[in-house]
Amino acid sequence: MLFRSGRVLTVTLADSENTACTRDMAARATPVMMPEGTDPTQGLEIRVTGALEGATILAGLPEAPVAVPEFSPSAGWVDRTTVAVLTWGSSSCRPTVATVAAAGSAVELAFASPPADQICTMDMAPRVTLAEVGAVAGDGAVELVLTGGNVASEGPIPVLGVR
């Protein structure tokens, strides 16, 4: 559930009753679509309540990003070395990063091919994959090239935000 009041976005997380969880300490991300009218150039306080609790400030972007076509991938910085990559596809077959490598001025994320016997649902859902790119990303602006694992981009995609 999302609720926006001024410059505060409240996200309420609930434990799923239909999914067994390992409760390990692995990094993971949950896609949250911003409410209509949110200005990406303005900072936003995010408060998480429910199954997990916390708060952070999401810095505004220097300029509003160019809108991408529906179901196109996008990416943003999580911290100085990690990016969150949003792709679209089967909710039961989430992509995993196999390799990260320099590709000219971009960073190539090669995704692993799913096992041949893996059954994937036929839905179209947002999926967020975290990737550690710090070893090859350099210090300036970063673009990603996505390949393999039924994930691809029409060309490099910019990584939004600051690290």
Q: Are residues 52 and 75 in the same domain?
A: no
Distance CA 134, CA 26 (A): 18
Q: Are residues 85 and 56 in the same domain?
A: no
What Å distances lie between residue 9 and 3, 24, 144, CA to CA?
6, 27, 28
Q: pLDDT-derived band of residue 28, with 50, 70 and 90 as boundaries?
A: confident
DSSP 148: S
Compute the mean pLDDT over every residue in the chain, rounded to the nearest whole number: 88
Q: pLDDT-derived band of residue 2, with 50, 70 and 90 as boundaries?
A: low
Closest CA to 162 of 132, 136, 142: 142
Distance CA 1, CA 14 (A): 9
Tens digit of each residue's pLDDT (9 = 90 or more) over 105-129: 899 999 999 888 988 899 999 999 9
End residue of a domain, out of 15, 38, 64: 64
pLDDT at 4 over 70: no
End residue of a domain, out of 64, 92, 119: 64
